[in-house]
Chains A and B, each alone.
Chain A
Amino acid sequence: MPDILPRRRLLAASAAALPALLAMAGCRSSEVFAGPDPLAGRPPLSPDVITLQAVIAAEQAMIALYQAAVHGDPRPAGRAGSLEGLLAQHRQHLGQLVARLILPAGEPSASFSPSTSPSAAPTTGPTAGPGRVTIARLRAAERASATNLVRRLVTVPPDLAQLFASIAASDATHAVALGG
C-alpha cells in the first residue's frame, strides 16, 4: 500500500476536517473568512459618502435654480450680471464637492458634473419647479443651503467639514448679496 494518499483524497479529507479544526480553535468559519464577500453584491456606501452625495445633489439643484432664473422669462430685473457671478461660484462649489467623492467601482456617478444643466436637476434641494424663479426664492434657497451644510458638517471628517463650512459661508454671503 502506498504511504502517500492520492491528491484528491487528501483534499477531500482536509475539507471534511476543517469544521472540526475550527471548532477546536473556538472559531466559526465566518470569523476565519472575515471581510467582504465578493458574492454578496456591492458593500453599502459609508455615511460620509451618502452625506456628500446629498450635498452634491443639493448643489446641483441650486445651480438649476440659478439657471432657471438667469435664462428664464422674465429675468429678475437688473440682476442678470450678478446672478451669473453667483452661479459661477456655485459651479465652483460643485466642482470641489464632486472632487471629494470617491465611489466604489460600479456605482452610478454620471450625473455628478459641475456643468449641470436644468434638465439634470436632482430630486433633492431647491428644485426650480413651476413658476418664475424670483430673487426672494434664490435668497431663501441660499439661506436654507447654508443652514443645511452647517447641520451636516458635524458628522463628516474634518477636511470635508471645512469645505462644507466654507461653502455655507459663501452661500450666506450670496443671500446678503441678494438683499437679505
Chain B
Amino acid sequence: MAVGSVTARAALQAALAAEDAAIFGYGVAGAHLSGARQSAAEQDWTGHNEARDTLTAMISGLGATPVAAQAFYQLPFAVGDAASAAALAAYLEDGVTRAYLGLVAVSDQRLRTFGALAMQSSAERAAFWRGRTQAFPGLQAS
C-alpha cells in the first residue's frame, strides 16, 4: 500500500481515538452541568457520536479495522463542578481539533478538506466552553 494511504489511515484512527475520548469525557462533564449548559453538552456528545460513526465507516472503507474505544480514560484533572466540567469539555475539544489537524496534512485533498471543516466545528465548541477564541486552534502556538 502507498505511504500516503497509510498516513491517511493513521490520521483517521487518531481522529477516531480523539472522538472516543470526547464521548467518554462529555459523559463525565455532563453530570456536573445543568440547564442550558447540560443541554449543550448533550448536543456535543451526540455530535461526537455521529463523528465517531463517520470515521469508523471511513476507516473500514480503507480496508482497516477501526481502533476500539477504551473502557476508561484518565481525566486530565479532577472534575467536580460546573467550572471544571466546562474546562474538561474545552480540553476534549482541543484534543479533537489537534487530531483533525493531522488529517489536514495528508495528501488526499478530500480528507484535508474534511479535517479542516471538522476542526472548525470542534474549535467553535472549544470556544463556547472556554468562553473565548484562540488564534491558532489545534496548533502549539495557540
**Interface of A toward B, CB cutoff 8 Å:** 85-86, 88-89, 92-93, 96, 146, 149-150, 153-155, 158-159, 161-170, 172-174, 176-177
Contact = CB atoms under 8 A, between A and B. Distances in A.
A161 B20 CA distance: 26
B104 A170 contact: no
A150 B116 contact: yes
Interface in B95-131: 97, 101, 104-106, 109, 112-113, 115-117, 119-120, 122-124, 126-128
Given A89-B133, A150-B116, A170-B134, A162 B123 contact: no
A169 B138 contact: yes
Contacts of B112: 153-154, 161, 165
Nearest to A90: B135
B72 interface: no
Given A159-B105, A165-B116, A177-B127, 17 more contacts: A89-B135, A153-B116, A158-B106, A161-B104, A162-B101, A162-B104, A163-B136, A163-B139, A166-B119, A166-B138, A166-B142, A167-B136, A169-B122, A170-B123, A173-B126, A176-B127, A176-B128
B25 interface: no
Contacts of B134: 89, 170, 173
Contacts of A168: 116, 119-120
B141 A96 contact: yes
Contacts of B105: 158-159, 161-162
Contacts of B142: 166
Contacts of A85: 132-133
A150 B110 CA distance: 11
A178 B78 CA distance: 32
B79 to A, nearest CB: 24
B27 to A, nearest CB: 25
B137 interface: yes
Contacts of A149: 116
Contacts of B115: 165
Nearest to A146: B120
Contact of A165 (B124, B128, B138): B138
Contacts of A166: 101, 119, 136-139, 142
B127 to A, nearest CB: 4
Contacts of A155: 109
A153 B104 contact: yes
A161 to B, nearest CB: 5
B3 to A, nearest CB: 13
A140 to B, nearest CB: 16
Nearest to B141: A96
B133 A86 contact: yes
